[in-house]
Structure 1
Amino acid sequence: MVNDLPRFAAVGAGRMGRGIAIAFAYAGHRISLVDLRQRSDEAWQKLRSEARAEIEGSLSGLAQLGVIDAAQVAAIAARVEFMNAADAPAALGAAELLFEGVPETLDAKREAFEWLNRHCRDDAIITSTTSSILVTQLAALVHKPERFLNMHWLNPAYVIPVVELSCHVGTDPAVLARTKAIMEGIGKLPVVCGATPGYIVPRLQALVMNEAARMIEEGAATAEEIDKATRYGLGLRFAALGVVEFIDFGGCDILHHASREMSASIDRARYTAPAIVDRMVDEGRLGLKSGSGFYDYEGRDVDAYRRDVLSRTLGMLRHAGLWQPPAAETQP
């Protein structure tokens, strides 16, 4: 019976679908992992065995790290229910929130949404986990597009808390609010962006990764030195402060001047500051030190905020095992 089927469904039994299934199962929910492809019995059994083995293996990895008890692995894995094409209509019809995760081609997406349009409830929320196709391109494929948005998960999907929600102009605000609430209920941290290529995280990290590869190509530093610098310098700082918060904390004028110097000495196209930075400097909106920047600090206890930032940074240092107590004696 439909009422006995899970409330959630991951459509596409590949790596992303399996990761999403683990995330919901870990949070105590049953979820359908749905394969829409017509397969022979032998091929379906092989896929299901591979998916089950990967899910159990991922959970066993968490157990080995002490995150969960080994005795919990089987119970959590059992919350994932595998559905082939024959079972898909019932699973899709029962779900209130679905995650489309088929291969990244419009033909594959179109075929998947034809299934969802035929079998999903009209009040079900439909999301796509696409990393490369805009929500505006896919909304046209969805019946009742007001209940549709993109949801980009960061791998491993069952570990990284952030999920990026990308809406089109027709996405119902109530649908967005309901989606956020469900995701927060399983321990995720939803962030919202517009219909923009690369969402937030991939767009930022692509610049960093390309620049790291370019530095190796130029002989500026080795891979090992770059990784040390990013793990314990760049990464540690941005784990304690958000990127935009970091601009305000140091001062927008610092970014302005650094960009001017590097655009002249390295590459103008890559390092010229955007107009918003120049405009904020001209207006004296430098961040924390001027009382406003990307954020407004009026009425805020700045000293308490600075202590909080220091506390976050020290917490990351301790986590990395890099914090040292002061020396007991003066060194010769």
Structure 2
Amino acid sequence: MIARFAAVGAGRMGRGIAIAFAYAGHRIALVDLRQRSPEAWQRLCEEARDEIRASLDGLAQLGALQPAQVEAIAARVELVDADGAPAALARAELVFEGVPETMAAKRDAFEQINRHCSDDAILTSTTSSILVTQLAELVHRPERFLNMHWLNPAYLIPVVELSTHAGTDAAVVARTRQLMEAIGKLPVLCGATPGYIVPRLQALIMNEAARMIEEGAATAEEIDKATRFGLGLRFAALGVVEFIDFGGSDILHHASREMAASIDAHRYAAPAIVGHMVEQGHLGVKTGSGFYDYAGRDLAAYRRDVLARTLGMLRHAGLWQAPADSTQP
């Protein structure tokens, strides 16, 4: 069975992607483009194989797979050196570039990818910092190119963020979605924006947590308890935008105004879109429209669904308590 997929760059991200495909039953080529001495290549192979097996052993210890399956899954990852790269890239229908985060390294990698991949192969970069519009200029037939940001650990977190440029072919996006969904991933789409979706949101939260510690507002332990079982639990049950609609954009508007006045006017200023929605009466669920349209929707059933999701998260966290059997005096 040939490897239909290739991860270029044998570092942590490439190894995580390789595990994700191998776990789903596919062979994948983990390609190192650097010319290395035989000794250096052997060290890299041992390091990569050890990390892949250790990750799979961890999953086995947690019951995600049987210990006997570890070697079979690891064997689906084909380690390919610079001499073998042309053949491996020529066979690949989906390629993930994951070399170091410099334009020079990306340029060198895509020079080889362009030379050896077939014209209909889908090419992606796993960059976390370089815009898709910049990298598209390095790609032959850029209509088949997009960024794909994986969240660590890549083999475990389901969301992958697809960032497209104006020239990305819609059929390429559809095919990429299909291939990623087939290995159990949840692709989400965004434009050519710095930080994608998740890093852009989480950077604000992490910085604000660090500020609260700096200010003496709360300890690290109390902040983590509040985020795991308050903020995180709620946002695991409802998406962030869904949460705005569920509570009401007017609540966000007023809360932002108060915190802008008392904490920081710049950090807590609500965006113009929230003010416009409040002015127009599009407050969310309670008015029938907000970021989502609730026209014709059974709102009672929707509220029950939200409650069920939240209860599910509470039970998962071991925090749900049954009602008392008797009335306390």
Q: Quick check: TM above 0.5? A: yes
Match 1:6 to one of 3, 6, 14: 3
Match 2:193 to one of 185, 193, 196: 196
Q: Say whether 1:78 aligns with 2:75.
A: yes
Tell me the equivalent position of 1:186: 183
Q: Say whether 1:133 aligns with 2:130.
A: yes
What are the superposed Cα offsets for residues 216-269 of structure 1, whole Å, 9 maximum, x if unpaired?
000000000000000000000000000000000000000000000000000000
* Aligned-partner Cα distance in 1 for 2:81–2:42: 10
Tell me the equivalent position of 2:22: 25
Secondary structure of the corresponding residue to residue 269 of structure 1: coil
Tell me the equivalent position of 1:271: 268
Q: Say whether 1:44 aligns with 2:61.
A: no
* Aligned-partner Cα distance in 1 for 2:46–2:88: 19
* Aligned-partner Cα distance in 1 for 2:167–2:211: 40
Q: Say whether 1:291 aligns with 2:269.
A: no
Tell me the equivalent position of 1:99: 96
Q: How many residues align?
A: 329
* Aligned-partner Cα distance in 1 for 2:168–2:2: 27
Secondary structure of the corresponding residue to residue 271 of structure 1: coil
Tell me the equivalent position of 1:210: 207
Letter in 2 for 1:101: G
Tell me the equivalent position of 2:62: 65
Structure 2 gaps of 5+ residues are: none
How big is the shift at 1:34?
0.2
Letter in 2 for 1:77: A
Letter in 2 for 1:228: K
Tell me the equivalent position of 2:319: 322
What are the superposed Cα offsets for residues 171-199 of structure 1, whole Å, 9 maximum, x if unpaired?
00000000000000000000000000000
Task: Report runs of 4+ in structure 1 exceeding 3 Å deviation.
Answer: none
* Aligned-partner Cα distance in 2 for 1:37–1:276: 48
Q: Say whether 1:240 aligns with 2:237.
A: yes
Secondary structure of the corresponding residue to residue 59 of structure 1: helix
Letter in 2 for 1:54: E
* Aligned-partner Cα distance in 1 for 2:218–2:30: 45
Letter in 2 for 1:253: D
Secondary structure of the corresponding residue to residue 252 of structure 2: helix
* Aligned-partner Cα distance in 2 for 1:167–1:117: 19
Letter in 2 for 1:291: G
Match 2:146 to one of 145, 149, 152: 149
* Aligned-partner Cα distance in 2 for 1:35–1:138: 20
How big is the shift at 1:331?
1.9
Match 2:111 to one of 114, 135, 142: 114
Secondary structure of the corresponding residue to residue 322 of structure 2: coil
How big is the shift at 1:329?
1.3
Match 1:251 to one of 242, 248, 251: 248
Letter in 2 for 1:99: F
* Aligned-partner Cα distance in 2 for 1:298–1:5: 50
**TM-score of the superposed pair, with normalisation by structure 1:** 0.99
What are the superposed Cα offsets for residues 134-164 of structure 1, whole Å, 9 maximum, x if unpaired?
0000000000000000000000000000000
* Aligned-partner Cα distance in 2 for 1:28–1:54: 19
* Aligned-partner Cα distance in 2 for 1:202–1:148: 21
* Aligned-partner Cα distance in 2 for 1:201–1:116: 28
Match 2:220 to one of 215, 223, 226: 223
**Identical aligned residues as a percent:** 80
What are the superposed Cα offsets for residues 79-130 of structure 1, whole Å, 9 maximum, x if unpaired?
0000000000000000000000000000000000000011000000000000
How big is the shift at 1:5?
2.9
* Aligned-partner Cα distance in 1 for 2:2–2:101: 28
Tell me the equivalent position of 2:303: 306
* Aligned-partner Cα distance in 2 for 1:57–1:206: 29
How big is the shift at 1:330?
1.5
Q: Say whether 1:167 aligns with 2:133.
A: no
Secondary structure of the corresponding residue to residue 46 of structure 2: helix
